[in-house]
Amino acid sequence: MMKLRSMALISSFLLLTACGSLNEDSSVVTVQSEGSSQETESSLVGSGLPGSEPEVPAAQQSRSDVMQIIAGEKQFTAALESNDTAAALTEMLPLTLDMAELNGNEKYHYLDTALPSAPEKVGHISEGDIMLYGDSCLVVFYESFDTPYSYTRIGHIDDTSGLAEALGKGGVTVTFGAPGSSDTGYTAQDAGALCDFLLARPTEEDLTGRPYDLDNDGVWSVFDLCLMKGEL
């Protein structure tokens, strides 16, 4: 009886030891599997496999709520209103218009196509406002003033530094387009100049005001150079 009881105790001890070893081994296997899974996921990033592409920064994505405006050698970015007028104008882009001077505070052009309009008495015009007068007169204001007239709001230029100088005192040619549109007419020389700028090399010409911020993030970077080369 004593031998049988001893054998039972030994068997129970061995069984418990084996179960403990099995649980420990299982946890090790689980950890290794998780590590292997993480390593596999990491190796997929940038591999070119479907679903493995890194997320594209928002600044590089195509946007429909902004518009690029080029006057002379200066580029501006306008934030667009969320209305039918701005949407209809966006569908017409790119546009290169000969704009006339009026009152020392605005440039205007009558479009060939009428746009949806919802005129209102705006009361005050701010420098950089882009409005529709009637249903076909596109207006860019470069001075701030009070007005009794009614307009449909289209958008507003974010940074108006140099706007009045770029538009000048008389008639001016202005290009309206989506950010990075090919109507800017980039050349191989532009790509070389931007490349030199990014590499901190001296350039033979003044690059101030050049429309090289193709992704509209406020800085010139390698992303702008890639977009420019894509257009070329």
Topology of domain 64-183, CATH: Cyclophilin (2.40.100)
Closest CA to 97 of 118, 124, 121, 67: 67
Q: How high is the pLDDT of residue 232?
A: 66
Within the chain, all domains assigned CATH 2.40.100.20 are found at 64-183
Is the per-residue pLDDT at 186 higher than 50?
yes
Cα-to-chain-centroid distance, residue 98: 28
| pLDDT for res 215 | 80
**pLDDT tens digits, residue range 198-231?**
998 888 778 877 888 888 788 999 988 888 877 7
pLDDT (0 to 100) of residue 184: 55
For residue 52, what pLDDT is reported?
37
Q: Please indicate whether residue 179 or residue 74 has the higher confidence score (pLDDT).
A: 74
- For the chain, list the strands marked E by DSSP: 66-71, 74-80, 95-102, 106-110, 120-121, 124-125, 129-133, 137-141, 145-146, 150-157, 172-177
Q: What confidence tens digit (pLDDT) does each residue in 28-76 have?
A: 333 333 343 443 333 333 333 334 333 434 443 344 689 999 997 788 9
The model's pTM is 0.55
Q: Is the dihedral of CA 134, 157, 141, 70 positive or negative?
A: negative
Contact 139, 131 (CB under 8 A): yes
Q: Residue 158 — pLDDT band, cuts 50, 70, 90?
A: confident
Lowest model confidence (mean pLDDT) among 22-31, 58-67, 78-87, 106-115: 22-31
Predicted confidence (pLDDT) per residue in 110-145, tens digit: 999 999 999 999 999 999 999 999 999 999 999 999
- Nearest Cα to Cα of residue 64 among 216, 178, 228: 178
pLDDT for residue 14 is more than 50: no
What pLDDT score was predicted for residue 27? 37
